[in-house]
Amino acid sequence: MFGLVDCNNFYASCQRVFEPHLVGKPVVILSNNDGCVIARSNEAKALGIRMGAPAFECEKLFRENHVHIYSSNFTLYGDMSSRVMNTLSTFTPSIEIYSIDEAFLRFDGFDFYNLKEYGEKIQKVVTKGTGIPISVGIASTKTLAKVANKIAKKYPVQTNSSHVIDTEQKRIKALQWTEIGDVWGIGSRYARKLKNIGVNNAYQFSRLSNDWVKKEMSIVGLRIKHELEGLPMLDLEKTQNKKAIATTRSFEKMYTKYEDVSERVSTFTASSSEKLRKQNSHSNLVMVFVRTNYFRKDQPQYARSIIVKTDYPTSSYIELNRCAQIGLRKIFKPGYQYKKAGVILMGISTDNSTQLSLFKSPNPNHQILMRTMDRLNQSIGSTKVMFAGQSLDRKWKMKQERLSPYFTTKIQDIIRIKLSG
């Protein structure tokens, strides 16, 4: 049996853990640079606030309905996610962290357990231990566990936030309840196609012939069908190294000078190269892109990207930034107001499978320098040790006017409790 644990309104719930006065009130979280809505509490959803809605378009709605608005605090969310996942790992050793707020569990050897009660126990322990409310869905396949989780989240009172699909009757009823567009793995294009032939829910999809599904939706669609039938096609996935590492940001204001954009690219390269070293990998392709603000139709538009190949696979910021700056010089054009840039490292290989060049070899001192910098930044604080290409008095320069305290990762932000004598 598989379980899916999903944190309810995760970003908003993280804020509520440390600011309990927000419980029952509308809360929205904004994207980087406070651009658009990326998370909403149930109360905010009820007001009609759309996911992805630009913040400036919603200001009147926010103000009239006393909506609590927060800049995204991914340091806090990441730490709270780790606490949830660590707690979940105490219930079963088989766990796949699917996203920052979701995890699949596999219950091997639980044949004599009452999984309904076990799911309720997981829900209570995680919520009490972390403050984050969760929903638990359990079924014979990962796709059915997704369906069960959706039911638990939709009907928390009736299910105690834990639902198990363990009989044929429950499976059929759950699939009849699930709209075809809500099935995990079926995108909007296939959903439209299926609705055109009268397939509106998951049960109707599971009744289609295997031959038709395979022909029209490939082997992937056939796997989804089998999963809905209760036949496991997907197991827990092992954590894999990323095949591409990207750091992209919108600027807090528009830049026209090459030096300003160059500094941002240097900083983005430093961040990407640090992520690369954390997974013990090298890269031999560096993509750089720049673009203007496409929302400003009154201004001339420009967007370009370029890929630069390194002389050899490397994780050295020095080499990667050299290539990034070569690329930037080729695509940067004066006369434009740039709003966004990014660096993407590709051609990634692990340290023990890197193929070296016959004609050029990496500087051995770079590896020692990178290791020392990473160790210092880890021990005394991120970005404390930087390269000259990065501005020493600037970090991300993101617009975060509504950023909450970090609460769990900065000693000065820890909540203080005043006891009256």
Residues 29-78 pLDDT 10s: 998 778 899 999 999 999 999 999 999 899 999 999 999 999 999 989 99
Q: Name the residue among 31, 60, 19, 62 with its Cα closest to residue 44.
A: 62
| Confidence check: pLDDT of 159 > 90 | yes
Q: pLDDT band at residue 421, thresholds of 50, 70 and 90? A: low
Q: Are 315 and 366 in contact (CB under 8 A)?
A: no
Do the strands 95-99 and 281-292 form a parallel or antiparallel pair, or are they unpaired? unpaired
State both tokens at 46. Answer: 């009820």
Residue 356 pLDDT: 54
Tell me 178's DSSP state: S
**For the chain, what percent of residues have pLDDT higher than 70?**
91
Can you tell me the mean pLDDT for 195-218? Answer: 96
> How do residues 261-303 score in pLDDT, each as one tens digit?
999 999 999 989 989 998 889 999 999 999 999 888 889 999 9
> Count of CB atoms within 10 A of residue 55's CB?
18
Domains of the chain (ranges, CATH numbers):
2-164 (3.30.70.270), 168-228 (1.10.150.20), 245-380 (3.30.1490.100)
pTM: 0.76
Where helices occur in 279-354 by DSSP H, the ranges are 317-331
Beta bridge partners of 115: none
Residues 224-255: pLDDT tens digits? 999 999 999 999 987 666 788 999 988 888 99
Please, what is the average pLDDT of the chain? 90
Q: What's the rounded mean pLDDT across residues 87-108?
A: 94
Of the pLDDT bands very low, low, confident and very high (cuts 50, 70, 90), residue 176 is very high
Mean pLDDT of 193-211: 96
